[in-house]
Structure 1
């Protein structure tokens, strides 16, 4: 079945578009953070700074100047091992971490850094959302304070 087209015989009103116009063509600019996708980015973050909270583990890495990524971007990755539970539990934990990162990282994350949020068993999906946000804020403060 083909979608209906805008009439070309002059019966369409001026400015009318096809009723089958997809809203998915619009680019997402709703505050979505650039997401880490390459395994090498996750491995590089795993060798950098780490800070654990009750709900999640946060790995943070300052990118090098010679990397081909915009230095003003804050990138984030999410992962949960099978220890967290079945696919439903892992996906729920990642969804919650995604929302927390979307709310917190634009203001508390530092440009030029990559962050990886790792879910914890029985904690990430069960923790209160405000407390989850507080955990991420606390961990970011700890990660970005200068070491003695």
Structure 2
């Protein structure tokens, strides 16, 4: 079992809808990896080469606002630990919560993020 370490660098955030759509666009070089607790999408940003940006989303299908926010908080905490080490510079990442994200054991959530990032690397 791998241990979670604190990030060395602060990650940038995707905030605008257009940034999320750019990553999700399947017509380009967008890659994704689905795991039981989350989906990770990744795409090279055409204008940046030296930083990593990430965004987190949860649909209303997951539950009410409390559950969605909890799922995003958990994804954010785990991604902040693994993305600086396993992410690729110049790429944008979108983490999409699934139904089980809010209630999954912390270790399994981190393992899923680690495996997804390794697969996309």
TM-score, scaled to structure 2? 0.86
In the other structure, the counterpart of 1:142 is 119
Asked if 1:125 corresponds to 2:107, the answer is: no
Asked if 1:45 corresponds to 2:23, the answer is: yes
SS in 2 for 1:117: strand
Query: Distance between the aligned counterparts of 2:115 and 2:14, measured in 1?
Result: 22
Asked if 1:93 corresponds to 2:76, the answer is: no
Task: Tell me: higher relative CO, structure 1 or 2? Use CA pairs within 8 A at least 6 residues apart.
Answer: 2
In the other structure, the counterpart of 1:17 is none
Q: Which consecutive segments of 4 or more residues in structure 1 shift more than 3 A? A: none
Gaps of at least 5 residues in structure 2 are 1-7
SS in 1 for 2:20: helix
Aligned-residue RMSD, C-alpha? 1.6
Q: How many residues align?
A: 111
Could you tell me whether the CA contact under 8 Å between 1:31 and 1:102 is conserved in 2?
no
Query: Distance between the aligned counterparts of 1:31 and 1:99, measured in 2?
Result: 14
SS in 2 for 1:83: coil
TM-score, scaled to structure 1? 0.71
Could you tell me whether the CA contact under 8 Å between 1:59 and 1:115 is conserved in 2?
yes
